């Protein structure tokens, strides 16, 4: 029980570091809103090592804190929508479908982008940005694939470590 | 990776590319007009074929040149709309989320709106 706080502290700190590292990578894809989402690596790992509830808590805390530190209120709302939707889809795919870590991560990457697009549609009050939909889907596949490959490698090496959250 | 992983990737890529292909085939920017909306409401329509610079609400600057529209200046911190590539085709859009501005190109079949409306 007392480990719980320590684990969350470590994971939140790691998430914030990854968010910061991502800011330092000066890659512009030319398409707004597309980035790697390094911090989602932790969410995937947390989902597999512990469970949905812990991953959700970690995701929300990470997004709110990094939003206040590195960007603005808008990005918090978008990230929250994407983060929560992607976590819901990932946990569904993990439980129901016969997917590996990589497949689950890809589903998360796609739904993260879709969630953000839906919020953007609501904010600007138009469906015209549906134009972005295919591009965001492909971007979600690519980023989800990369994150999935890394997290499955990490999970392989963490096999003997149990994260006891209860 | 399992079989279902590849299936998922395949289906998603198929959907995206077919939507993109369909979009690519059906669009051209003949007689295109640039439509600007602010917070979901029409702000103004501009001809894509006349070179002009439009000041949107004093926050963003829209430049129409060479049959393409691009935002050259914005007061928001992230400047995503400024970094966005110029739009030329029907249905494409540039969005400034902080200022709730959408700039998009529509096919103006009847060229009723030829000039600038402020």
Q: Which residues pair with B90 in a beta bridge?
A: none
What are the φ and ψ backbone dihedral angles of A160, each rounded to 5 degrees?
-85, -5
Contact, A144 vs A105, CB < 8 A?
yes
Q: DSSP state, B87?
A: B
Which residues are CB-neighbours of A12 under 8 A, at least 6 positions away? A58, A61, A62, A65
Tens of pLDDT along A127-159? 666 677 888 888 899 999 999 999 999 999 988
Task: Using CB atoms within 10 Å of the CB of residue B118, give its burial: 0 to 12 exposed, 13 to 18 middle, 19+ buried.
Answer: exposed
pTM above 0.90, yes or no: no
CA torsion through residues A54, A109, A117, B83, sign: positive
Q: DSSP state, A128?
A: G
ipTM of the complex: 0.75
Q: Which one of B95, B102, B104 makes the best mutation probe of the A interface by having the most chain A beta carbons within 10 Å?
A: B95
Q: Which residues of B touch A99 (CB under 8 A)?
A: 2, 4-5, 8
Cα distances (angstroms) measured from residue B109 to each of A72, B28, B36: 41, 11, 17
User: B99 CB near a chain A CB, below 8 Å?
Assistant: no
Tens of pLDDT along A4-53? 888 889 999 999 999 888 888 766 555 555 778 888 899 999 999 888 99
Distance CA(A158)–CA(A153), nearest Å, equals 9
* Mean pLDDT comparison of A49-63, B13-27, B36-50, highest-scoring range: A49-63
């Amino acid at each position: 029980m007392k480990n719980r706080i320590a684990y969350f502290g470590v994971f939140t700190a790691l998430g914030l570091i990854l968010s910061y590292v991502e800011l330092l990578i000066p890659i512009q894809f030319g398409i707004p809103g597309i980035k790697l989402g390094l911090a989602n690596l932790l969410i995937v790992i947390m989902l597999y090592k512990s469970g949905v509830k812990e991953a959700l808590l970690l995701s929300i805390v990470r997004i709110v804190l990094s939003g206040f530190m590195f960007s603005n209120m808008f990005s918090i709302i978008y990230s929250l929508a994407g983060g929560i939707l992607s976590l819901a889809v990932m946990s569904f795919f993990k439980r129901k479908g016969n997917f590996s870590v990589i497949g689950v991560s890809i589903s998360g990457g796609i739904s993260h982008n879709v969630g953000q697009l839906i919020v953007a549609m609501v904010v600007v009050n138009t469906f015209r940005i549906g134009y972005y939909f295919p591009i965001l889907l492909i971007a979600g596949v690519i980023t989800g694939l990369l994150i999935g490959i890394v997290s499955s490698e990490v999970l392989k090496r963490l096999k003997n470590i149990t994260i006891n959250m209860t | 990776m399992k079989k279902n992983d590849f299936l998922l990737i395949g289906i998603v890529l198929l959907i995206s590319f077919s939507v993109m292909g369909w979009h690519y085939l059906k669009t051209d920017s003949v007689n295109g007009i640039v439509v600007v909306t602010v917070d979901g409401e029409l702000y103004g329509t501009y001809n894509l074929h006349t070179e002009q610079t439009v000041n949107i609400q004093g926050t963003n600057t829209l430049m129409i040149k060479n049959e393409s529209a691009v935002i050259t200046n914005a007061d928001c911190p992230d400047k995503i709309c400024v970094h966005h590539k110029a739009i030329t085709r029907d249905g494409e859009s540039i969005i400034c989320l902080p200022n709730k501005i959408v700039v998009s190109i529509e096919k103006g079949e009847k060229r009723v709106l030829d000039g600038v409306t402020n």
